[in-house]
Amino acid sequence: MKKIALIIQREYLSRVKKKSFIVMTFLGPVLIAAMYAFAIFLAVNSDNMSDKKKIVVCDETNTLSNIIKSNAQYEFEFSSLSLASLKSDFDSSGNSYLLYIPQKSKNFEGVQLYSDKQPSLAIVKYIEDQLENTLSDQKLTEKGISKKIISELDFNLNIETIRFTEEGEQDGNTSASYMIGMFSSILIYMFIFLYGLQVMRGVIEEKNNRIVEVLISSVKPFQLMMGKIVGIALVGLTQFALWVILTSAITGIIGQKFAQDKSKLMSIEKTAESSNSDKSEPSIAAGEVLNALSTINYPLVIGCFLFYFLGGYLLYSALFAAIGSAVDSESETQQFMMPVTIPLIFSFIISTSTVVNNPDGPVAFWLSLIPLSSPIVMMVRLPFGVPTWEIITSMLLLIAGFFGTVWLAAKIYRTGILMVGKKTSWKEIGKWIFYKN
Amino acid sequence: MLSIRSIIKDYENHRALNSVSMEIPKGSVFGLLGPNGAGKTSLIRIINQITKADSGDIYFKDEKLQEKHISSIGYLPEERGLYKKMGVADQIVYLAQLKGLSKQEAEKRAKQWFERLEMKGWWNKNVEDLSKGMQQKVQFVATVIHQPELLILDEPFSGFDPINAEMIKNEFLNLNQQGTTIIFSSHRMESVEELCSHIAILNLSEKMLEGKVSDIRKQYSKNCFEITYNNAESIDLNGSSAFQSIGNAKIKEGKFVQEIQLNAGFQINDAIAFLMPKIQFNGIKEIIPSINEIFIDQVKNA
């Protein structure tokens, strides 16, 4: 045990003392804060930043000039000229688009949008929405429904979600759960990747420097591997903790500066909200989100976050250590990396698409039990509420999976580190697992 | 000091050690010789408990070899190196701590070695800033700092320049005089021959030969002598029952050199008595086979 402690200490201190660690620790939050500030800046200024797009409309029906409306981004100008002359003048007119609505179009069939570049989805959707609304209004009016009733049809619903929990009924909030789940899962994914690769590089470094045989004449290969994994985990936790502290300090200061113009901030949050969520989802005011965030079971989420954060890292880093032991240089790692990174990337993609939209579905259920994917997938499900037995089973499986991979990795590792100057194949690694010692 | 008994080690497709036994006496400089791939490194790794033997036992000072003995053994592997981006002193202290020394003790001893080997200015330097020769000095200190009773050196002089090799060699011999048992492993037999008091030769996973260097040489000596004489022309030396000439006389630096082999039951004095009146003696020298010659001889006969 004393030897493992020594190895952990060396791995930790040698990394924490590095200039790159100190630089990243301070630069990381600055970068995150800068990104945050830049996003706010864009949100505030996006209207002013892009020039208003001018759309000249050739409306042969002569009915739409009061219906299609300009907004902050698009300015519609109705022209009485013919389509042919508008087309020929298009290049010199300075207009971005030419919208053509043919005279005899029934239900606006045959509407065309000309431009010299492929138009953005946003403008096409904007025009389509306007025309569709016009059309449905027209149909309703034809059936004798008054304008007043039509305007009353414009609903904006916000469903309140309430969960039955052990503490009684609780307000829930899907968006808040979504945000927390995604955020935790992204963090865990990044942590596993960044620090798992550091473990691998550390192993390769010891092999390259030829110090590994000197070391394992004093300590067991297993001790060396575990010492490295734990030491680097502590480096990661240190960096993470410092980032949280520094980022919240910096964003706090920036936030305060913006808060002076409160209305601006509100509009930013709204913009951010609506740009994040689908159009079909109702956007929620910032206050509501904050309110909803406070309904999350934080001790559980934070506790589970730390568990899956470490559990996932330990499981994957053991595999990364095994890869590092099997090669002589980082350029040789490619072929062995694939089977380790694929489940990681796969669970990340699935969790940000399928799982987050259906957190109780069979895909989410199974992937949150399988140790290779559970650290990432379970964190997405957790804020939506997961039965206790599922969490416990998933945790136990992750612990078992960790011991399994460590056992496997240790077998590969102890043989691999002594193989120098040999190209290793999958077949050979398979054999190492069955070596007696 | 170390008793190796019937060690067998199998790898997937071949047997690396086939029932190898040897005794390494306390205070000896023991040469573990053999060509590449003979099983030397496999045996050394088993002694260092890096790998396990499939069968057989090793006794360290009459005790079965176990984990606690790690701190009594110093090992300089053939594939050796240091952390490039770590301080020289930090590194030595770390490796010493892994061998069971306390931090204070490790630092104290490191300072003594730095003084002794004129390395004082290096204390805070990174290993990558040192020259290769300097790195090898550091490696040497890291190997011996815990004052092991048994030192195992695998190809110790490979990669050393002659000056450093000489210095390190003297340091090893110095430790040996203070009581440290040393195992030298090498495939270059002549390089360690002069250092070793005992040797064992491994070939094709088996031990071919073991014993005191002087005994082995005596055993393989063919009772041959080289007679140098200074007569005007070469003389036929045959005609004695005590010896026979081997080949014809050769001329070396203006003198004649003749190899003779004593017949069984005769001493060199008998030959000299016979030759005395015949030739103008310039010198007489016993032809002792080198370990290399013995080895090649053995391999050919095997």
Last residue of a domain, which of B194, B218, B242?
B218
Chain B residues in contact with A205 by the CB 8 A cut-off are 83
Q: Cα–Cα–Cα angle for B275, B277, B278, nearest 5°? A: 60
Q: Tell me: pLDDT of B161 over 60.
A: yes
The reply to whether B91 and B19 lie within a common domain is: yes
Q: Do A217 and B83 touch (CB under 8 A)?
A: no
> Cβ of B73 under 8 Å from any chain A Cβ?
yes
How far does the CA of residue B107 sit from the closest CA of chain A (Å)?
15
Chain B residues in contact with A214 by the CB 8 A cut-off are 75-77, 80-82, 95, 142-143
**Residue A217: which of B54, B75, B94 has the nearest Cβ?**
B75
The reply to whether A187 and A332 lie within a common domain is: yes
Give domain status of residue A163, yes or no.
Answer: no
Average pLDDT of A266-279?
48
Q: Do A6 and B73 touch (CB under 8 A)?
A: no
Q: Which helix (H) or strand (E) holds A161?
A: strand A161-165
Cα dihedral B174, B175, B177, B178, rounded to 10, equals: 130
- Which residue does chain A place closest to B83, by CA atoms? A209
Q: Tokens in use for A179?
A: 């945000």
- Which residue does chain A place closest to B143, by CA atoms? A214
The reply to whether A110 and A39 lie within a common domain is: no
CATH number at A64 reads: 3.40.190.10
> Cβ of A3 under 8 Å from any chain B Cβ?
yes
Confidence label for A261 from pLDDT (cuts 50, 70 and 90): low
Q: How far apart (Å, rounded) are the C-alpha atoms in residues B203 and B298?
A: 10
Of A90-99, A303-312, B101-110, B114-123, the poorest mean pLDDT is in: A90-99
Closest CA to A307 of A376, A388, A385, A406: A376
Chain A residues in contact with B70 by the CB 8 A cut-off are 217-218
Confidence label for B65 from pLDDT (cuts 50, 70 and 90): very high
Q: How far apart (Å, rounded) are the C-alpha atoms in residues A340 and A345?
A: 9
Chain B from 15 to 54: CB within 8 A of any A CB: 45, 48-52, 54
Q: Tell me: pLDDT of A277 over 70.
A: no
Which residue did the predictor score with more confidence, B250 or A261?
B250
Give domain status of residue A162, yes or no.
Answer: no
Give the number of other CB atoms < 10 A from CB of residue A96.
19
Q: Tell me: pLDDT of A69 over 50.
A: yes
The reply to whether B118 and B229 lie within a common domain is: no
Q: What is the pLDDT of residue A289?
A: 55
Task: Provide the domain limits for residue A55.
Answer: 50-152
Phi, psi of A362 (to 5 degrees): -60, -35
Q: Confirm if B84 and B128 have CB atoms less than 8 A apart.
A: yes
Chain B residues in contact with A425 by the CB 8 A cut-off are none
Q: What is the pLDDT of residue B149?
A: 94
Q: What is the pLDDT of residue A230?
A: 95
Chain A residues in contact with B82 by the CB 8 A cut-off are 209, 211, 214
Chain A residues in contact with B79 by the CB 8 A cut-off are 210, 213, 420
**Residue B98: which of A3, A14, A418 has the nearest Cβ?**
A3
Residues 6 or more apart in contact with residue A72 via CB below 8 angstroms: A47, A52
Q: Which helix (H) or strand (E) holds B64?
A: strand B63-64
Of these ranges, A181-190, B144-153, B244-253, the one predicted with the greatest mean pLDDT is B144-153
**Residue A209: which of B76, B83, B143 has the nearest Cβ?**
B83
* C-alpha distances in Å from residue B182, one per residue of A19, B29, B115: 42, 5, 24
Confidence label for B160 from pLDDT (cuts 50, 70 and 90): confident
Tell me A360's DSSP state: T
The reply to whether A125 and A203 lie within a common domain is: no
The count of residues in chain A is 437
Of these ranges, A49-53, A239-243, B110-114, the one predicted with the greatest mean pLDDT is B110-114
Q: Cα–Cα–Cα angle for A365, A368, A370, nearest 5°? A: 110
Q: Confirm if A416 and A212 have CB atoms less than 8 A apart.
A: no
Q: Tell me: pLDDT of A170 over 70.
A: no
How far does the CA of residue A424 sit from the closest CA of chain B (Å)?
15
CATH number at B273 reads: 3.30.70
The reply to whether B144 and B271 lie within a common domain is: no
> Cβ of B132 under 8 Å from any chain A Cβ?
no
Q: Cα–Cα–Cα angle for A121, A123, A127, nearest 5°? A: 120
Average pLDDT of A191-209?
91
**Residue B77: which of A205, A209, A214 has the nearest Cβ?**
A214
Give the number of other CB atoms < 10 A from CB of residue B208.
18
A172 SS3 class: strand
Closest CA to B61 of B149, B132, B163: B149
Q: What is the pLDDT of residue A232?
A: 94
* C-alpha distances in Å from residue B23, one per residue of B32, B198, B295: 11, 10, 19
Closest CA to B152 of B55, B31, B69: B31
* C-alpha distances in Å from residue B155, one per residue of A255, B39, B102, B172, B231: 65, 13, 30, 13, 47
The reply to whether A176 and A140 lie within a common domain is: no
Kindly tell me the number of DSSP H helices and DSSP E strands found in chain A. 17, 6
Give domain status of residue A165, yes or no.
Answer: no
Q: Do B51 and A437 touch (CB under 8 A)?
A: yes
Which residue did the predictor score with more confidence, A372 or A260?
A372
Confidence label for B3 from pLDDT (cuts 50, 70 and 90): very high
Residues 6 or more apart in contact with residue A125 via CB below 8 angstroms: none
Average pLDDT of B41-65?
92
The reply to whether A37 and A55 lie within a common domain is: no
The reply to whether A244 and A99 lie within a common domain is: no
Q: Which helix (H) or strand (E) holds A287?
A: helix A286-293
Kindly tell me the number of DSSP H helices and DSSP E strands found in chain B. 9, 14
Q: How far apart (Å, rounded) are the C-alpha atoms in residues B295 and B208?
A: 9
Identity at B281, one-letter amino acid code: F
Give domain status of residue A310, yes or no.
Answer: yes
The reply to whether B10 and B58 lie within a common domain is: yes
Q: Tell me: pLDDT of A276 over 50.
A: no
Q: How far apart (Å, rounded) are the C-alpha atoms in residues A181 and A293?
A: 12
Mean residue pLDDT of chain A comes to: 81
Rg of chain B over Cα atoms, rounded to whole angstroms, equals 24
Give domain status of residue A141, yes or no.
Answer: yes
Q: What is the pLDDT of residue A156?
A: 76
Phi, psi of B284 (to 5 degrees): -145, 135
Give domain status of residue A224, yes or no.
Answer: yes
Closest CA to B35 of B286, B227, B231, B292: B292
The reply to whether B97 and B53 lie within a common domain is: yes
Confidence label for A282 from pLDDT (cuts 50, 70 and 90): very low
Confidence label for A48 from pLDDT (cuts 50, 70 and 90): low
Of A81-95, A374-388, B33-47, B62-76, the poorest mean pLDDT is in: A81-95
Q: What is the pLDDT of residue A402?
A: 93
The reply to whether B121 and B156 lie within a common domain is: yes
Phi, psi of A210 (to 5 degrees): 65, 30
Q: What is the pLDDT of residue A279?
A: 41
Q: Confirm if B20 and B14 have CB atoms less than 8 A apart.
A: no
Q: Do B98 and A14 touch (CB under 8 A)?
A: no
Q: How far apart (Å, rounded) are the C-alpha atoms in residues B243 and A135?
A: 128
* pLDDT-above-90 percentage for chain A: 26
ipTM over 0.90: no
Confidence label for B34 from pLDDT (cuts 50, 70 and 90): confident
Q: Cα–Cα–Cα angle for A316, A240, A178, nearest 5°? A: 80
Q: What is the tally of structural domains in chain B?
A: 2
Q: What is the pLDDT of residue A291?
A: 60
Q: Do A6 and B50 touch (CB under 8 A)?
A: no
The reply to whether A122 and A17 lie within a common domain is: no
Q: What is the pLDDT of residue A259?
A: 60
Phi, psi of B172 (to 5 degrees): -65, -45
> Cβ of B97 under 8 Å from any chain A Cβ?
yes
**Residue A6: which of B80, B98, B143 has the nearest Cβ?**
B98
Of A398-402, A425-429, B65-69, the poorest mean pLDDT is in: A425-429
The reply to whether B232 and B180 lie within a common domain is: no
Q: How far apart (Å, rounded) are the C-alpha atoms in residues A300 and A346?
A: 26
Most A CBs within 10 A among B11, B69, B98, hence the mutation to make, goes to: B98
Q: How far apart (Å, rounded) are the C-alpha atoms in residues A212 and B283?
A: 54
Identity at A403, one-letter amino acid code: F
Confidence label for B4 from pLDDT (cuts 50, 70 and 90): very high
Average pLDDT of A26-50?
74
Average pLDDT of A364-389?
89
Q: What is the pLDDT of residue A283?
A: 44
Which residue did the predictor score with more confidence, B86 or A73?
B86
Task: Provide the domain limits for residue B72.
Answer: 2-218
Q: Do A215 and B79 touch (CB under 8 A)?
A: no
Q: How far apart (Å, rounded) are the C-alpha atoms in residues A22 and A14?
A: 12
Average pLDDT of B40-45?
92
Q: What is the tally of structural domains in chain A?
A: 2
A152 SS3 class: helix
Q: What is the pLDDT of residue A235?
A: 93
Average pLDDT of B111-135?
88
Q: Do A213 and B80 touch (CB under 8 A)?
A: yes
How far does the CA of residue B270 sit from the closest CA of chain A (Å)?
57
How far does the CA of residue A230 sit from the closest CA of chain B (Å)?
17
Closest CA to B236 of B252, B255, B256: B256
SS3 letters for B226-255?
Answer: EEEECCCCCCCCCCCCCEEEEEEEEEECCE
Q: What is the pLDDT of residue A284?
A: 46
Q: What is the pLDDT of residue A179?
A: 79
The reply to whether A20 and A106 lie within a common domain is: no
Give residue for tokens 């004449």: A217
Q: How far apart (Å, rounded) are the C-alpha atoms in residues B164 and B174?
A: 15
Which residue did the predictor score with more confidence, B240 or A271?
B240
Give domain status of residue A103, yes or no.
Answer: yes
**Residue B50: which of A6, A217, A435 has the nearest Cβ?**
A217
CATH number at B161 reads: 3.40.50.300
Q: Tokens in use for A225?
A: 């591997």
Q: What is the pLDDT of residue B298?
A: 80
Q: How far apart (Å, rounded) are the C-alpha atoms in residues B192 and B197?
A: 10
| Chain A with chain B: Cβ pairs closer than 8 A | 61
Q: Do B81 and A211 touch (CB under 8 A)?
A: yes
Confidence label for A63 from pLDDT (cuts 50, 70 and 90): confident
The reply to whether B249 and B212 lie within a common domain is: no
> Cβ of A422 under 8 Å from any chain B Cβ?
no
Q: What is the pLDDT of residue B21?
A: 94
A261 SS3 class: coil
Q: What is the pLDDT of residue A294?
A: 62
Chain A residues in contact with B153 by the CB 8 A cut-off are none
The reply to whether A181 and A272 lie within a common domain is: yes
Give domain status of residue A54, yes or no.
Answer: yes
Give the number of other CB atoms < 10 A from CB of residue A332.
15
**Residue B80: which of A10, A210, A218 has the nearest Cβ?**
A210
> Cβ of A431 under 8 Å from any chain B Cβ?
yes
Each residue of A4-23: pLDDT tens digit?
999 999 999 999 988 888 89
The reply to whether B147 and B81 lie within a common domain is: yes
Give residue for tokens 């259906």: A358
Confidence label for A173 from pLDDT (cuts 50, 70 and 90): low
pTM over 0.90: no
